[in-house]
């Protein structure tokens, strides 16, 4: 296996708006990030992924970009950005930026030109079509609700937007669009950034003819995304991008790709194909939902184990996995997969153990390292996320009762992850001296960084220890993975092995106590406990272990 810094590192995702506000306007900013770099250094992460910081009217918090070569005024200046890059590099950290090129903002100059007339040179930068008898060109639904087409008065045609109407899709079929994107990428790489997280990168190629999608009873717009996910030319585009841009730099790339299986993923990340280094797949993110994210579903531990095991097997020796359990689009990890009440600390540590010891590169989302939880604002007025607000409006119109809507929002809204980082127990959790753009989680007096740093048993120090273990033990990065007790519905256990080194990871996934039995065929002479989230007796055997709620242990097995 070839050694690479992005295989060995740990990534920390910053959602700048909610990270730290340095000037009291209620919005996190670049200077705020600079002030907290020593905190991140202390945690031990060495790669930072910044969610978008480019100029944007913020219809979707920066995922709608109006100028790729400018910093959003609320976040600071290009000078601040250059300073941030330098400060990170000074500390031995790498910096990855979000690349959002499936769409731009409708306020991007390209789109302003494009919509101005049918023969404008920029017309073909976007996807324009005539309507069908006063209806949109096809039945595709936007991922944020309603039609994926917006009628534009000026020229009497519709443009495609898979996300909000302020996020028109770029036309990747147009070679000039691709050149513009590659130029812009080089411009940033030449500034010294170390890679890209590529937003919905598997949506950039749409099926020719843009045919109608399947429609379910009662639906007006199709949720069938098969006509634009993993589309016909996506690999051609990525190989071109790689050849023209990526391959000229020592960088890392991770593509955000809903709707991929390991077989499909191989096409994007196979070492020999020269496209991307890693992907974010959505299989774990979909384990607890039905056809839409708003409808919950009960899941079993064996399903979760199957997902990770299948992805390991699928990419083994051919590609590289990424590991995440939350981000700015998802509920908080501890609320979703652990217990955010009685066993918050134990379960956050257990999940962290999994995240840092599976094969692949771990991604920590801001606040996760102190066990931040979901939030439940009483009124919709306190929510900010466009997806949440659109869905609320839609359901209200359908007559769904308020309590039902709010319950789903509390469980699954993207704003769960977007409340400000809780730094201390002062007003607004020390995030801002002003009025925060979104309210802080009321539990900040109990859950905050300052408190975590004073408690040697905190989730923070447990993360730090895991990161250190990963750094010191190549077996965690490069070792193979073998699931044991595959059928067990309470315990997730596996071995990681590299040459003569062998680690055993044991995780009790639930509140109920469980009994671990080491399979007979696993032999060992001696053992060493590397980390655990409960006190463990020094001489305790491991052939049979009664596990406490959410107990996690890593042992080194010696011959
Ligand atoms: O998200 C991609 C995506 O597919 C979303 O629809 C995702 O499924 C949804 O947020 C889950 O609720 C990316 C970004 O991560 C997200 O923040 C952006 O809103 C979106 O692209 C558009 O750029
Ligand atoms: Ca600010």
**Domain residue ranges of the chain, discontinuous segments joined by +:** 8-100+344-375+419-472, 109-160, 176-320, 480-558
CATH topology of domain 8-100+344-375+419-472: TIM Barrel (3.20.20)
Question: In 3-state terms, what secondary structure has residue 134?
Answer: coil
Mean pLDDT over each residue of the chain, to the nearest integer:
98
- The span from the CA of 333 to the CA of 402, in Å, is 26
Element spanning 34, H or E: helix 30-35
CA–CA separation, 61 and 78 (whole Å) = 19
Check if 501 is active-site. Answer: no
How does pLDDT run across 363-409, given as a tens digit for each residue? 999 999 999 999 999 999 999 999 999 999 999 999 999 999 999 99
For residue 68, what pLDDT is reported?
99
Rounded distance between C-alpha atoms, residue 149 and residue 340, angstroms? 40
Query: Which ligand is nearest to the Cα of residue 385, counting in written order?
Result: 1
Report which protein residue has its CA nearest ligand 1's atom 6: 143
Q: How far is CA 418 from the centre of its chain?
A: 12
109-160 and 480-558 share one CATH topology? no
Indicate the SS3 state at residue 480. Answer: strand
Grouping H, G, I as helix, E, B as strand and the rest as coil, residue 434 is coil
Ligand nearest to the CA of 437: 2
pLDDT digits (tens, 9 = 90+) for 113-170: 999 999 999 999 999 999 999 999 999 999 999 999 999 999 999 999 999 999 999 9
Residues 266/314, Cβ–Cβ less than 8 Å:
yes
- Alpha carbon dihedral 264, 269, 274, 277, in 10-degree steps, equals 150
Q: Are 29 and 421 in contact (CB under 8 A)?
A: no
- Is the CB of residue 332 below 6 angstroms from any atom belonging to ligand 1? no
| Fold category of 480-558 in CATH | Immunoglobulin-like (2.60.40)
Asked if residue 293 has pLDDT above 90, the reply is: yes
Say what the pLDDT of residue 253 is.
98
pLDDT of residue 345: 98
- pLDDT for position 111: 99
Residues 6 or more apart from 310 whose CB is under 8 A from it? 262
State the Cα torsion 158-160-166-171 to the nearest 10°. Answer: -120
pLDDT digits (tens, 9 = 90+) for 429-475: 999 999 999 999 999 999 999 999 999 999 999 999 999 999 999 99
Q: Which CATH class is domain 176-320?
A: alpha beta
Indicate which atom in ligand 1 lies nearest the CA of residue 386: 19
pLDDT digits (tens, 9 = 90+) for 78-91: 999 999 999 999 99
H or E stretch at 50: strand 47-50
Q: Is the pLDDT of residue 559 over 90?
A: no
- Atom of ligand 1 minimally distant from the CA of 327: 15
120: alpha, beta or left? (left if phi > 0; alpha if psi -120 to 50): beta
Tokens, residue 505: 């990871």
pLDDT (tens digit, 9 = 90+) per residue, 18-32? 999 999 999 999 999
Whether the CB of 527 sits within 6 Å of ligand 1: no
- The answer to whether residue 256 is catalytic is yes
pLDDT band at 538 (very low <50, low <70, confident <90, very high): confident
pLDDT greater than 90 at residue 306: yes
Ligand 1 pocket member 414 (CB < 6 A): yes
511 C-alpha vs ligand 1 centroid, how far in Å? 32
CA-nearest residue, atom 16 of ligand 1 = 329
| Predicted local confidence at residue 1, as pLDDT | 79
CA of residue 547 to ligand 2 center, whole Å: 46
The ligand whose atoms approach the alpha carbon of 22 most closely is 2
Q: Tell whether the torsion through CA atoms of 430, 431, 436 and 442 is positive or negative.
A: negative
Q: Which CATH architecture has domain 109-160?
A: Alpha-Beta Complex (3.90)
Q: Which of 145, 200, 257 to mutate to test the pocket of ligand 1 (most atoms within 8 A of CB)?
A: 200
What does the alpha-carbon distance between residue 363 and residue 497 come to, in Å, rounded to a whole number?
22
């Amino acid at each position: 296996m070839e050694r690479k810094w992005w295989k060995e590192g740990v990534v920390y995702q910053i959602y700048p708006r909610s990270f730290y506000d340095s000037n009291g306007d209620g919005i996190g900013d670049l200077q705020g990030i600079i002030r907290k770099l020593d905190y991140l250094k202390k945690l031990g992460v060495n790669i930072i992924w910044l969610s978008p910081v480019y100029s944007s009217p913020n219809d979707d918090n920066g995922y709608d970009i109006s100028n790729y070569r400018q910093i959003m005024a609320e976040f600071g200046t290009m000078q601040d950005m250059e300073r941030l890059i330098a400060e990170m590099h000074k500390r031995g950290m790498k910096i990855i930026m979000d690349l959002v090129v499936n769409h731009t903002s409708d306020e991007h100059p390209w789109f302003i030109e494009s919509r101005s007339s049918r023969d404008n040179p920029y017309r073909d930068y976007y996807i324009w079509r005539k309507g069908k008898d006063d209806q949109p060109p096809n039945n595709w639904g936007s991922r944020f609700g309603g039609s994926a087409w917006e009628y534009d008065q000026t020229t009497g045609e519709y443009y495609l937007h898979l996300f909000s109407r302020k996020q028109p899709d770029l036309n990747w079929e147009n070679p000039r669009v691709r050149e513009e994107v590659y130029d812009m990428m080089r411009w940033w790489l030449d500034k010294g950034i170390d890679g890209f997280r590529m937003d919905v990168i598997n949506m950039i190629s749409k099926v020719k003819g843009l045919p109608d999608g399947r429609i379910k009873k009662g639906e007006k717009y199709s949720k069938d995304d098969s006509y634009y996910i993993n589309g016909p030319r996506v690999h051609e585009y990525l190989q071109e991008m790689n050849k023209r841009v990526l391959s000229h730099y020592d960088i890392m790339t991770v593509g955000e790709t809903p709707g991929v299986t390991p077989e499909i993923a191989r096409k994007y990340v196979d070492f020999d194909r020269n496209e991307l280094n890693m992907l974010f797949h959505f299989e774990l993110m979909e384990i607890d939902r039905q056809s839409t994210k708003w409808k919950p579903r009960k899941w079993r531990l064996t399903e979760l184990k199957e997902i990770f095991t299948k992805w390991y097997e699928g990419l083994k020796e051919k590609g590289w996995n990424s590991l995440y359990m939350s981000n700015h689009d998802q509920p908080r990890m501890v609320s979703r997969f652990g217990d955010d009440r009685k066993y918050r600390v134990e379960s956050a540590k257990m999940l962290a153990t999994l995240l840092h010891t599976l094969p692949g590169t771990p991604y920590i989302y801001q606040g996760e390292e102190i066990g931040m939880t979901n939030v439940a604002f009483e009124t919709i007025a306190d929510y900010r996320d466009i997806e949440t607000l659109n869905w609320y409006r839609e359901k209200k119109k359908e007559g769904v009762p308020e309590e039902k809507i709010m319950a789903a929002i509390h469980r699954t809204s993207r704003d769960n992850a977007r409340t400000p980082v809780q730094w201390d127990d002062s007003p607004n959790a020390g995030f801002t001296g002003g009025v925060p753009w979104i309210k802080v989680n009321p539990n900040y007096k109990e859950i905050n960084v300052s408190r975590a740093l004073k408690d040697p048993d905190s989730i923070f120090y447990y993360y730090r220890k895991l990161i250190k273990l990963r750094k010191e033990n190549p077996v965690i990065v490069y070792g193979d993975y073998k699931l044991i007790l595959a059928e067990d519905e309470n315990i997730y256990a596996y071995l990681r092995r590299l040459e003569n080194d062998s680690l055993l990871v044991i995780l009790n996934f639930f509140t109920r106590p469980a009994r671990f039995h080491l399979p007979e065929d696993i032999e060992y002479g001696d053992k060493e406990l590397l980390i655990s989230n409960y006190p463990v007796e020094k001489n305790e055997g491991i052939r049979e272990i009664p596990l406490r709620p959410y107990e996690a242990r890593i042992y080194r097995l010696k011959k």
